[in-house]
């Protein structure tokens, strides 16, 4: 592979990555620490933090392939989970 091919490959990989839509959910500071969301997450992305529960956004898959809607949002009593 010559330099032109390497540059072209880098360009297309960069363009491809920029077009990927990575979505996740996030817990806001209105969380009342009830814990209802944690066992509902199919990928164990939710854990307790200091003042609120936290979603590991690198793990959250928006429940795609697991549920028809985000399971954490469905059980949260305070609308504390938002899409980011
Ligand atoms: S949207 Fe689904 S995968 Fe993401 S944190 Fe909530 S329960 Fe877990
Ligand atoms: S269900 Fe809602 S209020 Fe309860 S811990 Fe999870 S984010 Fe916080």
Give the residue, by CA position, lying nearest to ligand 2 atom 2. 76
* Model confidence pLDDT, tens digit, residues 4-34: 544 434 444 343 344 445 589 999 999 999 9
Instruction: State which ligand 2 atom lies nearest to the alpha carbon of 28.
Output: 7
Alpha carbon of 77 to ligand 2 centroid (Å): 7
Q: Quote the pLDDT of residue 53.
A: 98
Give the residue, by CA position, lying nearest to ligand 1 atom 2. 63
Instruction: State which ligand 2 atom lies nearest to the alpha carbon of 34.
Output: 4
Q: Using CA atoms, how far apart are residues 48 and 36, in angstroms rounded to an integer?
A: 11
What CATH number is given for 21-83 in this structure? 3.30.70.20
Give the residue, by CA position, lying nearest to ligand 2 atom 8. 31
* Model confidence pLDDT, tens digit, residues 61-74: 999 999 999 999 99
Average pLDDT over residues 32-40: 98
Average pLDDT, the chain: 83
Q: Where are the domains of the chain?
A: 21-83
Pairing verdict, β 81-83 and 25-27: antiparallel
Is the separation of the CB atoms in 24 and 55 below 8 Å? yes
């Amino acid at each position: 592979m010559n330099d032109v091919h390497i540059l072209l490959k880098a360009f297309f990989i960069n363009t491809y990555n920029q077009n990927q839509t990575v979505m996740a959910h996030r817990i806001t500071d209105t969380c009342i620490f009830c814990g209802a969301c944690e066992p509902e997450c199919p990928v164990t992305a939710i854990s307790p933090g200091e003042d609120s529960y936290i979603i590991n956004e690198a793990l959250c898959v928006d429940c795609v392939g697991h549920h028809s809607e985000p399971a954490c949002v469905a059980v949260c009593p305070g609308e504390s989970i938002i899409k980011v």
